Amino acid sequence: MEEILPEEHEVDPTSADYYFDSYAHFGIHEEMLKDTVRTKTYQNVIYENGFLFKDKVVLDVGAGTGILSLFCAKGGAKHVYAVECSLMANTAKEIIQKNGYSDVITVLKGKVEEIELPVQQVDVIISEWMGYFLLFENMLDTVLYARDKWLVPGGVVLPDRTSLHLTAIEDADYKHEKINFWSSVYGFDMSCIKKQAMLEPLVDTVEPNQIVTQTQLIKTMDISNMTPGDVSFSAPFKLVATRNDFIHALVAYFDVSFTKCHKVVGFSTGPRSRPTHWKQTVLYLEDVITICEGEALTGKMSVAPNARNPRDVDIVVEYTFNGKRSQASRRQHFRMR
């Protein structure tokens, strides 16, 4: 048969590149761009707060398609340095040129930790670094590195505030479908996979009516002042039931805010807010907790980047419950990967 050749203009990395470099594919950027809670918040922050950007030098950490850099350029920035380590950097360059911003935005392809910036200092660092469970992929470390290396004293980091929250849900049906499924697969016992499934937090959307308890603030991060070590932490929780129900899982989610805006702006990825591509993070408990209104599930959550794979996140939940109708005490490991 005839030879099939790729188009001349096509960037043609190998499949191996794609495994290393999932952000090279447009699909992941499509999902993020179409998350309007995410993208419109950044757009509003930039367009409605000209005083933060006008004639300022901006660094965009993890620029992707270049959308935030384009917002900043259109919003009056003097210059924007858009750093992107995936192959999407080439596409961003093409987009920026096509839209006539090549003299305002400079795309730098490479890792923030390795590139050289043509300037000594920047006035603003903007980044959409948040991963699932806030910390998955650990890009916050890269933002803090950039802050310490280039941000002018008194400069602005956007967003500058984030918090992680924990609540508890009833989830009998879905836990059965995702976890107990492995107990009998077409009649065979695959419970060793059940262990793997329990270990891995599930990124999925939770219905507000599944929530059984109040919400506990686990951690607040001040991106302007925190140290890289602050991404590892341990915090107690006390989840008080708002009704009689069963608890099958804990649910974690985060909020971000831009407190340097004229008026504080932000969004929540919680189950009571408009859904985002981050959804929520569900941690199934080994026990089913039979909880009565007013009783509390107490414990401690510990979070740290995995030692061998810092993009992964280790989570340990220790919990104790001493209720009228059930009791439990356990330490459970989870790993986001």
Binding site for its own copies (CB under 8 A): 1-2, 4-7, 9-10, 12, 14-15, 18-20, 22, 26, 29-30, 33-34, 39, 43, 65, 67, 70-71, 91, 94-95, 98-99, 178, 181, 185-186, 188-193, 195-197, 199, 232-234, 302, 304, 306, 308-309, 311-312, 314-316, 333, 335, 337
Nearer to its own copies, 7 or 116 (CB): 7
Q: How far is the CB of 293 from its own copies (least distance, A)?
A: 33
Nearer to its own copies, 59 or 179 (CB): 179
- Let me know: does 247 contact 213? Beta carbons within 8 Å: yes
If 0-12 CB within 10 Å is exposed, 13-18 middle and 19+ buried, where does residue 153 land? exposed
What are phi and psi for residue 239, nearest 5 degrees? -110, 105
- Let me know: does 271 contact 206? Beta carbons within 8 Å: yes
Q: How far is the CB of 263 from its own copies (least distance, A)?
A: 21
In angstroms, the CA 127 to CA 162 distance is 13
Catalytic, 128? Answer yes
Out of 3, 30, 113, 137, the active site residue is: 137
- Let me know: does 23 contact 86? Beta carbons within 8 Å: yes
Query: Which H helix or E strand runs over 168?
Result: strand 161-169
Q: How far is the CB of 265 from its own copies (least distance, A)?
A: 16
Nearer to its own copies, 304 or 328 (CB): 304
Nearer to its own copies, 6 or 118 (CB): 6
- Let me know: does 295 contact 323? Beta carbons within 8 Å: yes
**Cβ neighbour number for residue 333 with a 10 Å cutoff:** 11
Nearer to its own copies, 119 or 217 (CB): 217
- Let me know: does 83 contact 118? Beta carbons within 8 Å: no
Instruction: Return the closest-CA partner of residue 121 out of 48, 69, 57, 42.
Output: 57
Rg value, the chain, Cα = 22
Out of 7, 113, 116, 128, the active site residue is: 128
Please list the alpha-helical segments (H only) found in 217-293.
none
> How big is the chain, counted in residues?
337
- Let me know: does 284 contact 175? Beta carbons within 8 Å: yes
Region for residue 207 given its phi and psi (left: phi exceeds 0; alpha: psi -120 to 50; beta: otherwise): beta
In this structure, what token pair is assigned to residue 48?
A: 């409605």
Nearer to its own copies, 153 or 187 (CB): 187
Catalytic residues, by residue number, are 128, 137
